[in-house]
Chain A
Amino acid sequence: MSASDATAPAPASAPVTQARLRVEAINTYYGDSHVLRDVSLHIGAGETVALLGRNGVGKTTTLKSIVGWQKPRTGSVTLDGEELVGSDMMTIARKGISLVPEERRIFTNLTVAENLKLAQVTARKPGWTLDHVYEKFPRLRERLTHKGDEISGGEKQMLAIARALLQDVKVLLLDEPTEGLAPLIVREVEKVIREIKAAGITTLLVEQNLYSALAVADRCYIIDQGEIKFEGTPDQVRTDEDLRRRYLHV
């Protein structure tokens, strides 16, 4: 894992052929409900890509499809060329795809320290050291003996991200990290995401908070009603009001 204080600028948009994670025309169903329709996207090594859209349109399902939580019926998901579709969650996680879910899913019956410990115990290969984590998330160190349900929303988010980073992460999937947090805490989370980006970790960021997303993303996709509607740069999203109106707000 590269040193924490790397300050390399975000790499330019990587061409498709060098994509680290490739999602090609996946179709995912909940029962009979056709939720994702031929969704394709790619992320280059070191890139931070944002997946934008209103709620209920398939953002979380896309992430679930990648990690094997909701297996796509057709299509392919490859990591460095290796096919992931059909594998179970544990296998995909061990290959280096780490999902920080929307609800965070902290183990509320374990302490903060135990939550962190678990991530280290189940990791195939270690990622960040515990000291490094405390450095970047100082609040967690103060809460080590608190149970998972005794910490604030912002601390839960930090803990969830820290858990992922303790493992050797090839691609980090963040599902709405700023959701439900107070504005001050949102700033802190944004800062953490910037640090992750600076550390060169390939990241797919799902966000409904446009401001946060555009501030860190190298590239953006917009999804609506289960289909990818746009791929481009943050500036394009910033300047195209019509685009935003159609797909991001009302």
Chain B
Amino acid sequence: MEALFQALLGGLVLGLIYIAIAVGLTIIFGTLRLVNFAHGAFYAIGAYVGLVIAQRIGVGWAFIAAPIAVALFAVFLDRFVLRSFYEKEPTSQLLVTFGIALVVEETLRLIFGATTQQYSMPLALQGSFALGPITYPAYRLLFAGGVILMLVLVWLFIEKTNYGLIVRAGIRDRTMVQLLGGNIRQASSIVFALGAAIAGLVGAAATPIYGIDPATGFAFLVPSFVVVVVGGLGSFWGAVLGGLLIGELQSLTNLAYAPASQVVIYLCMALVLLFRPQGLLGESEVIRQS
């Protein structure tokens, strides 16, 4: 029973990381029509920046520096590298962003080495909470709460602000937004930086839990793609639902029969792609060939 509860919470924490990355992926796809295989790089850069700042200056500053650093990197990519790829077919986008992910991963490896690193939380946050039958590390609970808060803020931004309105309209019909005088180009760039910053912040925040090594970014990215596919490309709630589903599935399977825990999420992805390719909450676009 306790093990089950632990697994559920673990699945939630894991799922939230997936959601954070998937939300970024999915809104970037919605506005820019870009399949971003480099999104894991945002996570990794955020994590390492967070690591360095946390070790040198302080944990609090890490959470500020990480998303800013990643957002700047995203702006750089947007303006100088990816511009010409927004209109190209997804295969080219996948290839070039895969290349960028590789370059970033190797650069990080050169700078920081291949071993897993971590920073520890301030003592105040190192305890555990009693939650019903179990005790659970305080930081993880805080992390979960923090990510949920962040997602709520993102949701509020998209649903309640004027900017978010332009973004949502643009996801549906870029041309009409322009015909109404809206600057969809600018909105898309901001969304790109925002999606990246989210991944970077979560990267920094998750490092005390999972540690960071150069391959972690990609390791989290691939299951996040599963989440996006399962939830539906372009759907915010799809990413949330998909993330929870995949996180819990992975965690619970790990409890029941550990060897299958990774296989099962890819099985899930395969099933969705075969029977409901638009995802659970996605739009039924034409993705079949005649």
- Whether the Cβ atoms of A167 and B165 lie closer than 8 Å is no
Q: Which residue of A lies closest to B169 (CB)?
A: A107
Contact of A122 among B172, B173, B182 (CB under 8 A): B182
Q: Is A119 an interface residue (CB 8 A)?
A: yes
- The reply on A118 being an interface residue by CB < 8 A is yes
Chain B proximity mask over A168-197: 1 for CB below 8 Å, otherwise 0 = 000000000000000000000000000000
Dominant secondary structure of chain B at its interface with chain A: helix
Query: Which residues on the B side are within 8 Å of A93 (C-beta)?
Result: 178-181
A124 at the interface (CB under 8 A from B): yes
Cross-chain contact A107 with B173 (CB below 8 angstroms): yes
Assess the A121–B165 pair: CB atoms within 8 A: yes
Q: Chain A residues with Cβ under 8 A from B183's Cβ? A: 90, 122
Q: Which B residues are in CB contact (< 8 Å) with A110?
A: 165, 168-169, 172
Contact of B171 among A69, A98, A109, A167 (CB under 8 A): A109
A90–B178 contact, CB under 8 A? yes
Known: A107-B172, A118-B165, A121-B162. A163 touches B180 (CB 8 A): yes
- CB distance A107 to B176 under 8 Å? yes
Task: Identify the closest chain B residue to A121 (Cβ).
Answer: B162
B161's closest neighbor in chain A, by CB? A121
- Nearest CB in chain A: distance from B83 CB, A: 15
Q: B176 to chain A: which residues have CB within 8 Å?
A: 101, 105, 107
Question: Is B177's beta carbon under 8 Å from chain A?
Answer: yes
User: Which of A67, A101, A118 is the one whose CB lies under 8 Å from B169?
Assistant: A118
Report the interface size class on chain A.
20 to 34
Pair B173/A105 contact, Cβ less than 8 Å: yes
Distance from A49 Cβ to chain B, minimum over Cβ atoms (Å): 20
> How long is the Cα–Cα vector from A89 to B170 in the complex, in angstroms?
14
The residues in B between 110 and 156 inclusive whose CB is less than 8 angstroms from any CB of A are none
Instruction: Say whether, besides A101-B176, A105-B175, A123 and B169 are in contact (CB < 8 Å).
Output: no
**Chain B residues with CB below 8 A from A124, complex form:** 181
A122→B178 CA distance, assembly (Å)? 9
Assess the A90–B172 pair: CB atoms within 8 A: no
Residue-wise interface mask of A (102-135) relative to B, using a CB-CB cutoff of 8 A (1 in contact, 0 not): 0001011110001001110111100000000000
Contact partners of B172 in chain A: CB under 8 A? 107-110
B229 within 8 A of A: no
Report the separation of the CA atoms of residues A58 and B171 in the bound assembly, to the nearest whole angstrom. Answer: 29
B236 smallest CB distance to A (angstroms): 11
Known contacts A69-B175, A109-B171; A118/B166 CB under 8 A: yes
Q: How far is the CA of A90 from the CA of B170 in the complex (A)?
A: 13
A89 and B175 contact, Cβ closer than 8 Å, known pairs A122-B182, A167-B180: yes
Nearest A residue to B186, CB-CB? A90
- State whether B166 touches A101 (Cβ < 8 A): no
Are A114 and B180 neighbours in the complex by a CB distance under 8 Å? no
Closest chain B residue, CB of each to CB of A89: B178
Asked if A244 lies at the interface with its beta carbon under 8 angstroms from chain B, I say: no
Most A C-beta atoms less than 10 A away, residue of B169, B171, B179, B182: B179
Which residue on chain B has the smallest CB distance to residue A163? B180
Distance, CA A114 to CA B165, complexed state (A): 8
Q: Which residue of A69, A108, A109, A119 is within 8 Å of B180 (Cβ)?
A: A119
Nearest-Cβ distance from residue B97 to partner chain A, whole angstroms = 26
Contacts of A89 in B (CB 8 A): 175, 178-179
Kindly list chain B residues whose C-beta atoms are within 8 Å of the C-beta of A67. Answer: 179
Given A121-B165, A122-B182, 16 other A-B residues pairs in contact with their CB atoms under 8 A: A67-B179, A90-B178, A90-B181, A94-B181, A98-B179, A101-B179, A105-B179, A107-B169, A107-B172, A107-B176, A117-B162, A117-B165, A118-B177, A122-B181, A123-B180, A167-B180
Q: Which residues of B pack against A, CB within 8 Å?
A: 162, 165-166, 168-169, 171-173, 175-184
Q: List 11 A-B contacts (CB under 8 A).
A: A69-B175, A94-B181, A105-B173, A109-B169, A110-B165, A110-B169, A118-B177, A121-B162, A121-B166, A121-B182, A122-B182
- Give the 8 A-B residue pairs with the shortest CB-CB distance, closest first: A122-B182, A93-B181, A89-B178, A105-B176, A94-B181, A121-B162, A90-B178, A122-B181
